[in-house]
Structure 1
Amino acid sequence: MNKGVQNKLAVDDWTRAQRTFWEVRTLKVILLVLVLVLVVVPCRATEGWTRPMTCQSSEASGESNPGGGAASRRTVECDESRVSLAMKELNSTGWYWGSLSANQAKEILQDAAEGTFLVRDSSQRDYLFTISAMTSAGPTNLRIEYQHGKFKLDSVLLVRPKLKQFDSVVHLVEHYVQLSKTGHKKAPKSQPSTPRNGTVPLLLTRPAYATIPPLQHLCRVAINRSTGRVRDLPLPNRLKDYVADYTYNV
């Protein structure tokens, strides 16, 4: 067999492998969509849709309240709306534990693998939420700060300006889950778990579920992991709206 024929066969094999990969991936999305069609539509048809709250100023509603008082009220309304939406998303995840003490979180995570995490209400009045996670040195807690309509991790003063800010708690968690996965893949296997300076790396890789989410929610999370183009899927609009209502992959 000459070299040209061998090259052509190699290209054909590679093309078939690519086609098989995309066919399997497409089939996976279609199966998940099928489950959504069978499960979500009957449920949503009877329950109706819940729309996210939006920020509305008093001026938009036809009221006239000039001055700083009106601006202050609009800020409060927007904060309430942002926190309400964050709570709505958290309640959908299954890994939000609500009112849970630090000691209770420690007991839950004590025998878990490194990277296991949960989100709970903060025990401190100045913070709304806390991430409890299992590290190589044991369970630890990291508070989530809310300021000026954004959520970010609490940290020391020098590091705080460098931390990313997010519109929701789930978005924040999704970011650090992705960061943990990519950073863990890049780290050499010989690298010690505890750096020489005594700090312990925080990994968020596996949620600890308080309750198992509904099947339709798990399906839309899997769809979000498979494709970022939900609007292009051959779905009824009500299903696209349901999937788009939770755009995260965690």
Structure 2
Amino acid sequence: MTCHSTDSTETAENERRSESESRVVDTDRNRIAAAMKDLKKTGWYWGTLTANEAKEILQDAAEGTFLLRDSSQRDYLFTISAMTSAGPTNLRIEYKEGKFKLDSVVLVKPKLKQFDSVVHLVEHYVLLSRTSCKGSGGEPPGPSLAPPNGAVQLLLTTPVYAAMPSLQHLCRISINKVTRRVQDLPLPNRLKDYLTDYAYHV
């Protein structure tokens, strides 16, 4: 008959729990670091911009113009500031369990899509908004873009750049809009690597 002390059992459980929590923290840290790396390439990530500064930048912009900045609220990492028909507004981005999604009312939250990166999230809603604006009979805007209570519709169509992006970057976006099969293009490997390093449409 083997007898284990309660202390040793609790210690083993605590060590396992600590290892598991450490893995989660490392995963979160890596996911957020990767998100930041992509964001810094976009040109429309403004960093520590305040809500008032974002409002001033968007004040005379067309509806659908947007930028992304750090959130001023401690529970959130990022905020999208966008121009609506009623003026500038802010929409926070939530990070939970390794995924990014738009913050919204509790009833809508389960319907909102989740993404591995912030740029992918923004790209998704930009494509939805542009399809909606064209009226091409494509997929309708998601619940966060067209509130059910008749409130102002949020469109994301045109990013505001913090600094003018390079011609190479703009070309990369244009090529990625046309094809997802960059590896099949008759280009040098170094150029393919550059194209796939930022494989987004916005």
Q: Which has the larger radius of gyration?
A: 1
In the alignment, the residues of structure 1 paired with residue 113 and residue 38 of structure 2 have an alpha-carbon distance, to the nearest angstrom, of 19
In the alignment, the residues of structure 2 paired with residue 216 and residue 90 of structure 1 have an alpha-carbon distance, to the nearest angstrom, of 17
> Is 1:239 the equivalent of 2:188?
no
Counterparts in 2 of 1:187 and 1:202: CA distance versus 1, 3 Å: farther
Other-structure match for 2:18:
69
Other-structure match for 1:122:
71
> Is 1:185 the equivalent of 2:134?
yes
Q: Deviations over 1:127-160 (max 9, x none)?
A: 0000000000000000000000000000011100
Deviation (angstroms), 1:66: 6.1
* Structure 1 segments (4+ residues) deviating >3 Å: 194-198
Amino acid in the other structure paired with 1:80: R
Equivalent in 160, 166, 173 of residue 221 of structure 1: 173
Deviation (angstroms), 1:195: 9.0
Counterparts in 2 of 1:146 and 1:196: CA distance versus 1, 3 Å: closer
In the alignment, the residues of structure 1 paired with residue 181 and residue 148 of structure 2 have an alpha-carbon distance, to the nearest angstrom, of 44
Q: Compute the TM-score of the two structures, normalised by the length of structure 1.
A: 0.69
Please give the secondary structure, in 1, of the residue aligned with 2:163.
Answer: coil
Deviation (angstroms), 1:214: 2.0
Counterparts in 2 of 1:187 and 1:230: CA distance versus 1, 3 Å: closer
User: Structure 2: 5+ residue runs without aligned partners?
Assistant: 1-13, 138-145
Equivalent in 42, 51, 60 of residue 93 of structure 1: 42
Amino acid in the other structure paired with 1:141: N
> Is 1:83 the equivalent of 2:32?
yes
Amino acid in the other structure paired with 2:134: K
In the alignment, the residues of structure 2 paired with residue 220 and residue 184 of structure 1 have an alpha-carbon distance, to the nearest angstrom, of 24
Amino acid in the other structure paired with 1:164: K
Deviation (angstroms), 1:107: 0.4
Other-structure match for 1:105:
54
In the alignment, the residues of structure 1 paired with residue 108 and residue 177 of structure 2 have an alpha-carbon distance, to the nearest angstrom, of 31
Q: Deviations over 1:80-102 (max 9, x none)?
A: 11101111111101100000111
Q: How many residues align?
A: 181
Deviation (angstroms), 1:218: 1.4
Amino acid in the other structure paired with 1:162: K
Other-structure match for 1:199:
151
In the alignment, the residues of structure 2 paired with residue 158 and residue 223 of structure 1 have an alpha-carbon distance, to the nearest angstrom, of 38
Q: Deviations over 1:152-193 (max 9, x none)?
A: 0000111000000000010000000000011122289xxxxx
User: Structure 1: 5+ residue runs without aligned partners?
Assistant: 1-64, 189-193
In the alignment, the residues of structure 2 paired with residue 236 and residue 108 of structure 1 have an alpha-carbon distance, to the nearest angstrom, of 40
Other-structure match for 1:154:
103
Please give the secondary structure, in 2, of the residue aligned with 1:84.
Answer: helix
In the alignment, the residues of structure 1 paired with residue 131 and residue 83 of structure 2 have an alpha-carbon distance, to the nearest angstrom, of 18
Deviation (angstroms), 1:215: 2.1
Q: Root-mean-square deviation (CA), in Å?
A: 2.0
